[in-house]
């Protein structure tokens, strides 16, 4: 499909600088732009590419002023990143023709008591157990398991290989990527006098609210009692572990390989970096931001930034990082001073010996 710069500008409510009739047919990164492609510039770090790119159209901010001549047409919008994300979504919809798929492929097992909504697609080798409800327009792809008494809302996309345990409750417009597990047992064991561990039954469930996206190979444990919650609008990356009775706040984002221990509550709009470890039974305030690989074992106040392991406030961590980088130099200077002290001690001993004679 082809679109003119003018059509793109009208769609994004932007303005044009350059040839409004130029056509684009694909999206690309600005550094890889070529004739017929559409790019965006949001990060000033990439501005140099604007003056060398071969892209036909580039989306930029309304107040952006080029420091050099440009060969492409500029579409100026309020927020280039958000505008480009809208175009990516439309482009993705056009590519994924199976978005309109419906019906049930064979072989599948669907329990007679399951309730399947309108325009639902269920791929081959899926298992839908007793009393499951699936809302309208949802897509359940191959080899998905949905346990009994679970509910999947409308307009959901459950990708191949996802396993959803019994009594899980999923809202609307949820996306779960391949091989993620929702509702597995929480990690609960009671130590015994003989050194063994007795399993504690996990009788709760998982509740995922509307507009949540969960990456591939992420695991969300069901609660020991009550529910593990993923609140509305939260976004979870790949390879994340969410333990039993965790409560992930609305519009919170968690990057890959993070682990959140049992009964910890994350406030709304938190940002959790990659490989962050969060201990159990904590409360992280609304708007908490945690840098990659940080370790959190304490409650946090609202709208604070934390880095390092053990974690420190951002400014303290930055100062400590500067000192840490200088440690080899400091160590060398200490060793040199120690050597000089030893030399001085030897000289003093010689002087004292001479004086005593």
Q: Considering 177, 244, 281, 307, which one is annotated as catalytic?
A: 244
The residues pairing with 190 across neighbouring beta strands, listed in sequence order, are: 198
**Is 244 designated active site?**
yes
Catalytic residues, by residue number, are 244
């Amino acid at each position: 499909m082809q679109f003119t710069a003018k059509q793109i500008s009208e769609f994004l409510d932007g303005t044009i600088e350059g040839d409004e009739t130029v056509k684009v047919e694909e999206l690309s990164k600005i550094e890889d732009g070529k004739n017929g492609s559409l790019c965006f510039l949001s990060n000033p770090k990439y501005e140099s590419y604007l003056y060398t790119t071969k892209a036909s159209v580039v989306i930029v901010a309304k107040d952006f002023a080029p420091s050099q001549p440009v060969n492409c047409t500029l579409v100026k919008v309020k927020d280039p990143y958000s505008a480009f994300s809208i175009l990516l979504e439309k482009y993705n919809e056009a590519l994924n023709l199976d978005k309109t798929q419906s019906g049930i492929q064979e072989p599948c097992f669907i329990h007679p008591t399951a309730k399947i909504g309108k325009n639902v697609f269920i791929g081959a080798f899926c298992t839908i157990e007793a009393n499951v409800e699936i809302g309208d327009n949802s897509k359940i792809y191959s080899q998905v398991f949905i346990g009994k008494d679970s509910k999947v809302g409308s307009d959901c996309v459950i990708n191949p290989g996802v396993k959803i345990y019994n009594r899980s409750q999923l809202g609307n417009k949820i996306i779960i990527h391949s091989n993620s597990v929702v509702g597995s047992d929480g990690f609960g064991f009671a130590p015994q006098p003989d050194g063994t561990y007795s399993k504690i039954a996990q009788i709760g469930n998982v509740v995922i609210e509307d507009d949540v996206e969960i990456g591939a190979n992420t695991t969300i444990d069901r609660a020991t009692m009550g529910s593990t919650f993923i609140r509305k609008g939260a976004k979870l990356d790949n390879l994340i572990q969410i333990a039993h009775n965790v409560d992930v706040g609305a519009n919170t984002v968690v990057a890959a390989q993070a682990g959140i221990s049992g009964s910890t509550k994350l406030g709304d709009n938190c940002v959790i970096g990659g490989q962050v470890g969060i201990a159990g039974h904590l409360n992280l305030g609304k708007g908490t931001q945690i840098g990659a690989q940080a370790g959190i074992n304490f409650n946090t106040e609202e709208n604070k930034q934390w880095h390092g392991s053990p974690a420190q406030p951002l400014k303290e961590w930055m100062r400590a990082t500067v000192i840490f980088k200088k440690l080899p130099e400091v160590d060398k200077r200490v060793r040199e001073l120690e050597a000089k002290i030893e030399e001085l001690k030897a000289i003093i001993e010689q002087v004292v010996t001479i004086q005593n004679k």
